[in-house]
Structure 1
């Protein structure tokens, strides 16, 4: 056990290494806390809401993930899914949202935004395939629009993955598995410029996976990281380069009727030329300095992303001869700066930290939508050059008024500018979609109050406003660039029972309206205002040093608030998640043995506005077992879908037409959970 009583900025340094998430909210009156070796970092005296938290490197390493993006499922209540095999960005579900590929879930890796604005396939496109899980030092998460630091896309939640500056030991691993799975990883760090505590970290990863599909995905990925760091977490700097390149075939969702009629197997596809290729290259730097009463940090990044995506979701509905395949190319350069400065002050018995921050981002984008046949472009629906620029300025004050009361008040100001121009001058697309500009400004206040602790228990009250930006093409067409969200939340967090951390929250989240640019159609769709209610219950129990138990439950109710929709009985929001649950048992340090079992329940969802069609719930069980040999060798066996459940990873309801059908048919379209599979990994630490 370890006892500590931190001072404000000593705490900031200590918590960075102890993997806590919000050191700026702690001060020298924090109560003493007991941490169990290997346990989740305590959030008492730190978090501003019951839905905030931090996941340690040890906990992340214990998770069994089929894809890198599933690391985000360490956030209680968050589901990460996929409707197109490998390579494509994941689908996310949280707090009553079908977040598509990332809208309203702000995701960052090492301070760099992952959400891509005004993307060809969908607003907020969040592709985490470049993530290397072994480098993740911690995951910090927040839920709801209650933090002035978080801006665009953060209304439902925000997830931040931080990479390590150093590895305790180097690692070389090789993995083999069913369905053509192969992976190799080499990562290490070395001391350089020891007088200034300098370190050079590198990692290179190569992966191949076919998946269980009749036509293998042939997903090939090459991934690398190179980082130089100097100093320490609170007084130092880092410079990081990342490179990711991949290409794949795709087996997209298929109609249920085709499987029921025996026309298709569960892992068959319809258009065998679907697929894509992507790359991501980035250069970033971060600098931090902390004194006795001040702390400053500056981060900057330059990211080059490119995606060529080929899909066919309606098959032969629009073109009975050649099929409905379309291409969504997107290439962009994203640059930005994120800077903040904090001051600590004592006012009588009270103490406070005031933080001022500035966030700048610019996206220079070329993307479009093309009609294709076997990945060959035959017509242009639209082609655009988009320049999207934003500036966010925020101030946040956290004050501890007494040993049992602290508050956080914030105000954020955002300004956006959108410039959309045809990239193929003189084309039919340019005539139909002429150039346009739009701009918008928004103020977002937030307020949180924390009462306690009493008997190792705190109570939270949160209110705040947030937003998400619309796709630039929709913003220009409908003159509605930014969409306001409003959240209210009450919560409690307790560690009163020994070795049990538990939190409970109830919330309401409103959006002024839903407006989306549909990349699959090249058009803008306007929606009604919406409201979501929900409750989340999260538990982490560590009865023994070698055993931990996670149990998370979340339920939500999502409805449209449009008068016409309610009057017509069509107020349901298709795809909105209603209930999720996870139960996990993790064993570690049981001699040379380690292991985990994780049961995930993904509840049913409405697929139509009138709730006449619903998806079925799905349950999956994943697990792993590992054995450490002398000399730094470890052998691990990972298992996915142990019960071999024939359930859906995702479901949609829309019209499509198969070859030979005379008319389009409204039907459920699903992508199956991968069949039971095993992966064997041999790791050598050095």
Structure 2
């Protein structure tokens, strides 16, 4: 209670700060635009050199320094990928100087990056070089660019990948919050497991940038964001229309078409900047398994982004996605050792599934006088999922086998709103943000069934779920000369309503409330050097079936996070280091594969993160990420306290190059060390080292290139791995051992595209 009371005192200090103007009554303000598309630029860094004041532009490209003394000022305007501009201004008493700046694009240079100034402290900005020069086949691959994050596919390419971050086996999303343009990707109370996050509905070429927030330290993010949050942003406009075609090994094809619909002509006749584009994608692959995957994916996406007036931004997007596939599943090592199957064979070749998702996302941002802004967003998602899997083969049914069918159909309605204002009291700048929101999941059919070769046999579980999450938060940022204090408080209300179609006694309703305080400190030791301490309480919700039917278990178990570190840039180098701790009250989650709940108890994780970027010259960059984590169950003895599949040491690194003549590319590696596959560490999930490469030529009219996966042809690396008890049809007794999906063998893809 004392801790929460302290948080509340700090948060609401701003309401009792009175702005005394004295003789500081002059103002410098302005708007910053992209000279190419004439759209406002968000997040541009603005410095008043010599005055220790800095700011960044909002969604309208606006910045402001109020309550200044009369005098001479040097305004420095910087943004990654744009040429720096300097304004020398002479400010008189009671005067306001308002400027309009158009920034011209410029090759990225690490020396431009300033870690001490931001409108969003704690955010990890992913380098544009990392985004553009990393091999990506689907939007899921962008997750691999997040420092310390690994993914693993184990179901024919169509299912969401397994995720690893900060000592977590996150499964498909239990402890990471993923969003696209503020719209949630995670599916709560999902048929295949809590927090299931499938990004395949996003066309990779439409991703503009994404931001990473590690840990539970940010009040605007709630459920599932215990290890972190990743927020993707799609392009607001395109420079040219694009047509691209890829062809690769294993009968792999992919086509992308992106059309600029308005061609800068405008649509709503507002005489302001408007943009509208439509993108579509089709992909097909047989895969590298003996049984053809027959993987098919289709996407279509459209987005309108317009400056309706000088104070109103409107964004409307809509998308539709569907895919289907076959899968060879996870195979036991003994079946390969005995030559029962090959490494790329299967025990049950009828695994696979299909999924679909459609979205509508509308956002309106209004800017008001005195540095105030209001954001309103509504979104709708229609989603379907149908998966056939067989993890134990003939363990439970020696005649028909153990294949299961996980199915669900849902609609999601959501709202996000926030109101922000900036002010200044004496020498202190403070930014206040109030946010509210709601999410409603109507799952009108969800079941787990026993099947044989995709033919229904019987239900294990069937029902309907209606789940509500209503939340509010306040985030305050006090900026002194070199010290930034960032407290926050979030409250979430959940309601779980379950209708069990097989046993009405299991139907029920459960509600819960969660308070999540945060407090972060940032100190700028010198220009471009920052140290910080972050702290916060977050949570991950349990499945509705746990919340209703397991009253003795926590519905919203807390995560307590603490982190300290530094970020600095020196010349051509950018370095980040941190030490962190995360304590979870419970890793209790619903296991959709078996329709059971597995209590995992309380856990503690300690970790080290190191990231470095270095620019050798105007065309060559190096990157290195090192991540180490130790996790354990705190209530178990040392012989049985390991967290299964939790990564211990990971590393990613590489060299990227981009010449002025249009040649660009990258060669890189990823390394995942051995890790325990069970609590006793008696089975080891084997580590791997894999290299990839890409080479492209790009000019104003076309691009050609190729990508190589598994460059060194590592034949023994395993992607997804599990310690599973299973029984083959000819076996008399079950065996518990490592089951895995073999990693991608050496493969290549050639691509060619036109710009018009």
TM-score w.r.t. structure 2 length? 0.85
Structure 1, gaps ≥5 residues long? none
Could you tell me how far 1:246 is from its partner in structure 2?
0.8
Could you tell me how far 1:637 is from its partner in structure 2?
0.6
Instruction: Work out the CA distance in 2 between the residues paired with 1:224 and 1:239.
Output: 14
Instruction: Work out the CA distance in 2 between the residues paired with 1:80 and 1:457.
Output: 32
Per the alignment, do residues 524 and 9 of structure 1 end up closer, same or farther by CA in structure 2, a change over 3 Å counting?
farther
2:557 to 473, 477, 483: 483
Instruction: Work out the CA distance in 1 between the residues paired with 2:57 and 2:408.
Output: 38
Could you tell me how far 1:335 is from its partner in structure 2?
0.8
Could you tell me how far 1:523 is from its partner in structure 2?
1.8
Question: 1:225-240 to 2 correspondence within 5 Å?
Answer: 225-231=301-307, 235-240=312-317
Instruction: Work out the CA distance in 2 between the residues paired with 1:47 and 1:604.
Output: 39
2:233 to 162, 172, 180: 162
Question: Are the aligned partners of 1:559 and 1:573 in contact in 2 as well (CA < 8 Å)?
Answer: yes
Q: Max radius of gyration: which structure?
A: 2
Instruction: Work out the CA distance in 1 between the residues paired with 2:278 and 2:524.
Output: 44
2:484 to 380, 390, 406: 406
What residue in structure 1 maps to residue 291 of structure 2? 215
What residue in structure 1 maps to residue 14 of structure 2? none
Instruction: Work out the CA distance in 2 between the residues paired with 1:9 and 1:650.
Output: 49
What residue in structure 2 maps to residue 534 of structure 1? 607
**Segment of structure 1 superposing worse, 128-137 or 485-494:** 128-137
What residue in structure 2 maps to residue 388 of structure 1? 467
2:118 to 46, 49, 62: 46
Question: Are the aligned partners of 1:108 and 1:160 in contact in 2 as well (CA < 8 Å)?
Answer: yes
2:41 to 14, 20, 25: 14
Question: 1:440-455 to 2 correspondence within 5 Å?
Answer: 440-455=512-527
Question: Are the aligned partners of 2:116 and 2:527 in contact in 1 as well (CA < 8 Å)?
Answer: no
What residue in structure 2 maps to residue 572 of structure 1? 642
Question: Are the aligned partners of 1:24 and 1:353 in contact in 2 as well (CA < 8 Å)?
Answer: no
**Segment of structure 1 superposing worse, 60-69 or 381-390:** 60-69
SS of the aligned residue for 2:200 comes to: coil
Question: Are the aligned partners of 2:446 and 2:463 in contact in 1 as well (CA < 8 Å)?
Answer: yes
Question: Are the aligned partners of 1:580 and 1:602 in contact in 2 as well (CA < 8 Å)?
Answer: yes
What residue in structure 1 maps to residue 86 of structure 2? none
Instruction: Work out the CA distance in 1 between the residues paired with 2:623 and 2:366.
Output: 36
Question: Are the aligned partners of 2:44 and 2:78 in contact in 1 as well (CA < 8 Å)?
Answer: no
SS of the aligned residue for 1:397 comes to: strand
Could you tell me how far 1:10 is from its partner in structure 2?
6.5
SS of the aligned residue for 2:509 comes to: strand
What residue in structure 2 maps to residue 674 of structure 1? 744
The reply on whether 1:612 has 2:682 as its aligned counterpart is yes
The reply on whether 1:255 has 2:332 as its aligned counterpart is yes
1:80-118 Cα offsets, whole Å, 9 max, x none, are 111222100111000000000011110001111000000
The reply on whether 1:330 has 2:408 as its aligned counterpart is yes
Per the alignment, do residues 211 and 585 of structure 1 end up closer, same or farther by CA in structure 2, a change over 3 Å counting?
same
Could you tell me how far 1:22 is from its partner in structure 2?
8.6
Instruction: Work out the CA distance in 2 between the residues paired with 1:640 and 1:524.
Output: 37
Instruction: Work out the CA distance in 2 between the residues paired with 1:482 and 1:8.
Output: 45
What residue in structure 2 maps to residue 196 of structure 1? 272
Question: Are the aligned partners of 1:48 and 1:449 in contact in 2 as well (CA < 8 Å)?
Answer: no
Instruction: Work out the CA distance in 2 between the residues paired with 1:466 and 1:284.
Output: 26
Per the alignment, do residues 127 and 163 of structure 1 end up closer, same or farther by CA in structure 2, a change over 3 Å counting?
same
Matched residue count: 668
Per the alignment, do residues 22 and 610 of structure 1 end up closer, same or farther by CA in structure 2, a change over 3 Å counting?
farther
Could you tell me how far 1:307 is from its partner in structure 2?
0.6
1:174 to 223, 245, 252: 245
Per the alignment, do residues 58 and 288 of structure 1 end up closer, same or farther by CA in structure 2, a change over 3 Å counting?
farther
Instruction: Work out the CA distance in 2 between the residues paired with 1:282 and 1:220.
Output: 20
Question: 1:78-89 to 2 correspondence within 5 Å?
Answer: 78-89=149-160
SS of the aligned residue for 2:512 comes to: strand
1:474 to 542, 546, 552: 546
Question: Are the aligned partners of 1:485 and 1:510 in contact in 2 as well (CA < 8 Å)?
Answer: yes
What residue in structure 2 maps to residue 582 of structure 1? 652
Question: 1:352-367 to 2 correspondence within 5 Å?
Answer: 352-365=430-443, 366-367=445-446
SS of the aligned residue for 1:452 comes to: strand
Instruction: Work out the CA distance in 2 between the residues paired with 1:329 and 1:81.
Output: 22
Instruction: Work out the CA distance in 2 between the residues paired with 1:442 and 1:43.
Output: 33
Per the alignment, do residues 31 and 196 of structure 1 end up closer, same or farther by CA in structure 2, a change over 3 Å counting?
closer
What residue in structure 1 maps to residue 701 of structure 2? 632
SS of the aligned residue for 1:15 comes to: coil
Instruction: Work out the CA distance in 1 between the residues paired with 2:687 and 2:322.
Output: 35
Per the alignment, do residues 240 and 131 of structure 1 end up closer, same or farther by CA in structure 2, a change over 3 Å counting?
same
SS of the aligned residue for 1:120 comes to: coil
Could you tell me how far 1:310 is from its partner in structure 2?
0.3
